[in-house]
Amino acid sequence: MKSYLTGIVMVSALVAAAIADAYALQGSSVRDFDAEIRTAMQSAKTAADVEFLGTLSRLCLLPQSSTEDTSDNVPAFVAKPSSAPARETWYADPARVFDNLYFVGGKVHSAWALTTSDGIILIDTIFPYNSEELIVGGMRKLGLDPKNIKYVLISHAHADHIGGAEMLQSRYGAHVVMGAADWDVVAKYPNLYKTMAPKRDIVGTDGMKITLGETAVTIWATPGHTPGTLSDTFTVFDRGRPVHVAYSGGTAFNFPNRTPDPGIRNFQTYIDSQKHMAAQAAATGATVILSNHSEFDNAYNKNRMLAGRGNGPHPYELGTDWVQRYFQVMQNCARAAQIGLERDLVRPAK
């Protein structure tokens, strides 16, 4: 009986191996993965044109990071402040971008102050080493009082966006809004978020409205970049004219993505989120796309263009089609990477 069972097991294993080999051959013959990748890449390039080259380069052309930092070590710029990047590498002048929206970020990382009749909604807070000068100092240069910050919306829990949240919450009593999963990450890694971790406050959820005075920011859950990434839609004014904004909360593929499991699934989460956000942008008629990195929305350069605008068009206002194309770049670059993992699943690397 034992030899019989052993024989059955061996035959079953051989059959399973033969089926797997046949599936691999069939899959590789039915699908031209390389052609699919080229098609997705070309779709991303077409959507980007010359407007979103930074987004295209980061997502489609440059090597991707592949994981989150879960070491729970105190960052060097916190443990030894003198090791923080030199001021000239990050400083940018603050700017009034719309009637009620102000840029208080740096050359690379952005923060935005949305003014209302009842206070200020701040979106993202940069690093702990420069949030004092860029946000607090920048607001004062623009004639805004940081004491009026009532809400701080954190797109995701990375040091370049959550860095000043603890300071702003403790100093001004501002409410902090962040996605549940990212609140959990901050609590799990106290050393990694040393000096950056606000007390747990408002959990942002899909469709939630943060209302202050006559202004409302609608939050959209867009997991992918981090599990709790949040994006936003809201209205600003250009010389009294309402303009609708889509704010993309997380862009790079810094989630585990180098192996089919969990990479394929993670890319699908990312793609679905970008489709969701594109739909919200379309529903609100968004003609402006903003980000928390200048490489994606070109904020640093556009701010300098504002001074010479005169009666010309607003440099940030691209139109509804271009806003949709931004999300198409993100989706197609993610799809190209996902197809590569599907190819690896069928034809594993030797």
pLDDT category, 1, cuts 50, 70, 90? very low
pLDDT tens sequence across 297-349: 999 999 999 989 999 999 999 999 999 999 999 999 999 999 999 999 998 66
pLDDT of residue 65: 73
> Average pLDDT, whole number, for the chain?
92
Token pair 């704010």 in the structure block, residue? 247
Nearest to 190 by CA among 68, 80, 81, 72: 72
Q: What angle do CA 10, 343, 350 make, to 5 degrees?
A: 60
pLDDT tens sequence across 184-238: 999 999 999 999 999 999 999 999 999 999 999 999 999 999 999 999 999 999 9
pLDDT tens sequence across 91-105: 999 999 999 999 999
**Residue 67 or residue 254, greater confidence:** 254
pLDDT of residue 10: 39
The pair of structure tokens assigned to 288 is 């402006």
Q: Is 79 left (phi over 0), alpha (psi -120 to 50) or beta?
A: alpha
Please check whether residue 257 is in contact with residue 266, taking contact to mean a CB–CB distance below 8 angstroms: yes
Which of 69-83, 132-146, 275-289, 326-340 shows the lowest mean pLDDT across its residues? 69-83
Average pLDDT of span 64-71: 74
Which of 63-67, 201-205, 279-283 shows the lowest mean pLDDT across its residues? 63-67
The pair of structure tokens assigned to 217 is 């920011």
* pLDDT above 70 as % of the chain: 90
Please check whether residue 250 is in contact with residue 226, taking contact to mean a CB–CB distance below 8 angstroms: yes
For the chain, what's the residue count?
350
pTM for this model (two decimals): 0.90
pLDDT of residue 350: 56
pLDDT tens sequence across 8-60: 233 334 333 433 443 444 444 589 999 999 999 999 999 999 999 999 999 99
Furthest-apart CA atoms within the chain: distance in Å: 91
pLDDT tens sequence across 240-270: 999 999 999 999 999 999 999 999 999 999 9
